Amino acid sequence: MRSTRPRGRRIAALAALTLTLASLVPTTATAAPKPTVKAPAPAVVPQPVSQTSLSGSGFTLTAQTPVNVIASSDPDAAGVGTYLAGLLAPATGYTLPVTTTSQPVSQAIVLNPNGASTLGAEGYSLSSTGTGVTVTAHGAQGLFRGVQTLRQLLPAAIESTSVKPGPWTVAPVQISDNARYSYRGVMVDVARRFFPMDQLKRYIDQAAMYKINTLHLHLTDDQGWRIAIGAIPSLTTIGASTQSGFTGGTNWYYTAAEYQEIVAYAKSRFMTVVPEIDGPGHINSALASVPNLNCDDQPSPLYSGFAVGISLYCLSDPQHVSNVSDFLTTVIDTVASMTPGPYVHLGGDETPAATPSQYAAYVSAASSAVTSQGKTVMGWHQLGQSTIPANSIMQWWGSDGDRSTIGTSYENENVHFVRDAVQQNAKFVMSPSDHAYLDMLYDSSTPYGQDWQGHVPLSRAYDWDPTTSTAKLDGTGSLVPADRIAGVEAALWTDRAYAGWHRPATSTSQFPEPYVYAEHMSFPRLPAIAEIGWSPRSTHNYTDFSRRLGTHGARWSAAGIEYYAAPDVPWSTPPSSSSLIGVHTLTTGGKALDVPGSSGALDTQLDTWALHGGNNQKWTFVKQSDGSYILVNVASGLCADVSHGSLSAGAPIVQWTCSGTTNQQWQVTPAAGGGHTVTSVKSGLLLTTASTADGALVTQEPANGSALQRWTIG
Ligand code: TNX
């Protein structure tokens, strides 16, 4: 037995337990004699408080293994048993019986919600031996968190969506665990990019796997209004018809029933939904839908672009302040009435045009609407500049840049806003944008997102702590006292959820499906934020984290998660290469597909040139719904295009504004002689270079087996 997290009292308890287990295992009638080889330490993320590998071969599930829920007064406990059986069904092919009994049965997965209250709401203990698995918690929520650990003790193939051979052995281990912070969130910006119901539920399930317990939905922004408000239908008939890069939608919003379905789905994963109605800026979708929110009482034009900080409620005269206040009351009453969780988030970010008194008028109207519904105000940290109700929760999105000004003569306004909020007794959720913003590029190969906080590779997503995220850079003088920190949140913004992100998108073909964007940007970084929120600071160790996480790639592949195989992670199994999403070079005979002279001009014919790694030789592959790709040049932001949509052999391949038409779509297929052929969806002809000389021109040609049509995708 080896204690990975030495802790005095626990070691003694575990030594006693191990003696008991050692004497039990060999005498169990059903346990076949097996060598007592100790399995490698299970790689659980987030790292449990204490985890001890036991000897023995672990517990192997059969088609008859009961999921045995111990009777309790918690009405949700049986549901955790059903959830677990459902989780195990696709890969095992078993329909495990879920039973409720007053005493545990043997050779079972026992879920016992009657543990001591000292376990807390989310704590649990888990013991897995040859005789069975027991998860003990004080109520259903702790059982659910323990079940997420349990699934990680099974082989990676347990995440598969189709039946796999097994065996399904739970690693032998003793775990005792609890959450560091009670708020561990992820924000999804469904306003800039609308997530259909199934894609949002898929993301909820993925986040739950890492013990995320809060889903913050950024429901409104300039580019779209995503929640039906019965009394103001124009918000969705008009305000939901755009996204960043999209116009003309008719159902890019959640009906009241759909929103409630999301809330219920999240609740079934023990996740609280926090709805955000952003203001007083980020509000163009409402200004376009409700004329009297504008100073001239005329609706603003709809906005589907990519900028921030472009709009403001009219708050410059009493009549309009009253219009805004009435509007907010209607909206917030409706949203609050459909939200069982305690919070409504009021935004408050990026309002360059608001005067302090206009800003204060917004905060006053919005926060009284929230408190009159018995809810607690959340907001971005800027909200702290105004009067906020006591115990409001502010969300810090500042960075090391802001921290570097603390205590200097040039302390910036973000620092001031935090000081103001702390003085008003606010609590804080930490989302430092240089660590926890999932829309930042990992590195230069990231196909979408943005880089205003630089690159955020996995190491940076992991390398921070809530207690110092509002401290000076040397870690001292935290603006927010440790006991006012409610937790952490990762933020999945979607305003640049397209390839060629550093320029405005010109075509919807540049956008992957929302789930593809979400998974690429969140995996592997979301588990890093989840671990910071859950695990004790004493366990924080990047080498150990990345080793554990490296075994999760196989889980994500089994589940079909489109993760980014970050090069700084020691993946235990080679990342699956079924998808070419990302930035690549295409070479043949050592020469790369290239935009001559890094030209930005439309209609420039592509050539091949010695590979030098410049951006004019890099292409972002964006998967289309038919499995083909568009190829967006990183230097020009333009798309590889069969000139004039020609169907003829010999037609030039040029760069052109991305348009989504089939003469810009390419089927990429492994070729018999090595490399890939790249075939125009429009013409069926192949991307072909004329020769291996520098400057050889690229055209489309019929397949001829030549190496000049076989591209190595690097
Ligand atoms: C800033 S920081 C925003 C969002 C953008 C995001 C993109 C904050 C609260 N607001 O409006 O989507 O940057 O990274």
> In whole angstroms, what is the distance from residue 10 CA to residue 178 CA?
14
CA distance 122 to 110: 17
Report the C-alpha gap between 76 and 57 in whole angstroms: 32
What is the mean predicted confidence (pLDDT) over 190-213? 98
Tell me how many degrees the CA angle 378-384-389 measures, rounded to the nearest 5: 60
The CB of 17 under 6 Å from ligand 1? The reply is no
Structure tokens at 270: 């023990």
Cα dihedral value 237, 239, 242, 247, nearest 10: 50
Predicted pLDDT of residue 31: 41
Which residues partner with 138 through β-bridges?
114
pLDDT score recorded for residue 209: 98
Report how far residue 495's alpha carbon sits from residue 305's, in angstroms, rounded to the nearest whole number. Answer: 9
Q: Indicate whether 390 pLDDT > 50.
A: yes
Whether the bond into 42 is cis, omega within 30 of 0: no
The alpha carbon of 217 and the centre of ligand 1 are apart by a number of angstroms equal to 14
Q: Is the CB of 448 under 6 A from ligand 1?
A: no
Kindly report the protein residue whose alpha carbon is nearest to atom 8 of ligand 1. 349
pLDDT, tens digit, 9 for 90 and up, residues 110-144:
999 999 999 999 999 999 999 999 999 999 999 99
Which atom of ligand 1 is the closest one to the Cα of 397?
2
Mean residue pLDDT of the chain comes to 93
**pLDDT (mean) for 471-477:** 97
The pLDDT value recorded for residue 6 is 34
Mean pLDDT for the stretch of residues 451-455: 97
Residue 435 C-alpha to ligand 1 middle, in angstroms?
Answer: 13
- Model pLDDT for residues 53-74, shown as the tens digit of each residue: 999 989 999 999 999 999 999 9
- Of 159, 261, 276, 350, the catalytic one is 350
465 CB near ligand 1 (under 6 Å): no
Cα 369 to Cα 68, 219, 355, 648: the distances in Å are: 45, 17, 21, 64
Per-residue burial over 132-151, b = 16 or more CB atoms within 10 Å of its CB, e = otherwise? bbbbbbbbbbbbbbbbbbbb
Q: Say what the pLDDT of residue 187 is.
A: 98
Per-residue confidence band for 440, with pLDDT thresholds at 50, 70 and 90: very high
Residue 248 in tokens = 């003309």
pLDDT higher than 70, residue 424: yes
List 218's β-bridge partners, or say none. Answer: 189, 276
Residues 244-260: what's their mean pLDDT? 97
In short, whether 349's Cβ falls inside 6 Å of ligand 1 is yes
Pocket lining: 310 vs ligand 1, CB cutoff 6 Å: no
Question: In sequence order, what are the residues at sequence separation of 6 or more whose Cβ sits closer than 8 angstroms to the Cβ of residue 585?
Answer: 592, 593, 611, 613, 617, 618, 619, 713, 714
Cα of 22 from ligand 1 centre, angstroms: 55
Q: If you average pLDDT over residues 393-400, what whole number do you get?
A: 98
**pLDDT at res. 18:** 36
- Mean pLDDT within 543-568: 94
Q: How far is the CA of 388 from the centre of ligand 1 (A)?
A: 22
Give φ, ψ of 588 to 5 degrees: -140, 130
Amino acid at 539: T
- Per-residue pLDDT, averaged over 335-345, amounts to 98
Q: Is the pLDDT of residue 15 over 60?
A: no
Residue 354 CB partners (closer than 8 Å, separation 6+): 280, 281, 312, 315, 362
**Residue 380 CB–ligand 1 contact under 6 Å:** yes
- Calculate how far, in angstroms, residue 447's C-alpha sits from the geometric centre of ligand 1: 19
Q: How much is the pLDDT for 10? A: 36
Q: Say what the pLDDT of residue 577 is.
A: 54
CA of 336 to the centre of ligand 1 (A): 24
The arithmetic mean of pLDDT across residues 471-500, rounded, is: 97
pLDDT computed for residue 28 by the predictor: 36
Whether residue 495 has its Cβ less than 6 Å from ligand 1: yes
Q: Give residue for tokens 């949140």.
A: 489
Of 349, 380, 382, 413, which is best to mutate to test ligand 1, by the most ligand atoms within 8 angstroms of its C-beta? Answer: 349
Q: Read off the pLDDT band of 95 (50, 70, 90).
A: very high
Q: Could you give the CA distance from residue 603 to residue 467 in angstroms, rounded to a whole number?
A: 54
pLDDT at 325 over 90: yes
- Kind and range of the H or E element at 214? strand 214-218
Kindly report, residue by residue over 579-598, the tens digit of the pLDDT.
788 899 999 999 999 999 99
Single out the residue of 358, 322, 327 nearest to residue 239, CA to CA: 327
Q: Ligand 1, atom 5: nearest CA belongs to which residue? A: 493
How many angstroms separate the CA atoms of 592 and 610, rounded? 6
What are the C-alpha distances in Å from 441 to residues 457, 514, 537, 557, 629?
A: 8, 16, 26, 22, 21
pLDDT (average), residues 166-183: 97
CB of 350 within 6 A of ligand 1: the answer is yes
Question: What does the longest C-alpha to C-alpha distance in the chain come to?
Answer: 84
> H or E stretch including 278?
strand 272-279
Q: Which residues contact 401 (CB under 8 A, 6 or more apart)?
A: 434
Is 25's pLDDT higher than 70?
no
Q: Average of pLDDT values for 94-117?
A: 97
Give the number of the atom of ligand 1 that is nearest the alpha carbon of residue 347.
9
Residue closest to 344 by CA, chosen among 327, 357, 331: 331
Instruction: List pLDDT tens digits, range 655-690.
Output: 999 998 999 999 999 888 889 999 999 999 999 999
258 included as an active-site residue: no
Mean pLDDT to the nearest integer, 494-511: 93
Q: What's the gap between Cα 403 and its chain centre?
A: 26
For residue 578, name the pLDDT band (cuts at 50, 70, 90): low
How crowded is residue 411: how many other Cβ atoms within 10 Å of its Cβ?
Answer: 14
Ligand 1 atom nearest to CA at 437: 14
Residue with the nearest Cα to atom 9 of ligand 1? Answer: 349
610/587 Cα distance (integer angstroms): 9
Give percent of the chain with pLDDT exceeding 70.
94
Which atom of ligand 1 is closest in space to residue 439's alpha carbon?
Answer: 14
Residue 607 Cβ contacting ligand 1 at under 6 Å: no
Q: How confident is the model at residue 40 (pLDDT cuts 50, 70, 90)?
A: low
Phi, psi of 552 (to 5 degrees): -85, -15
**Does ligand 1 come within 6 angstroms of the Cβ of 450?**
yes
Is residue 417 within 6 Å of ligand 1 at its C-beta? Answer: no
Nearest CA to ligand 1 atom 7: 493
In the structure, what pLDDT confidence band is assigned to residue 27 with cuts at 50, 70 and 90? very low
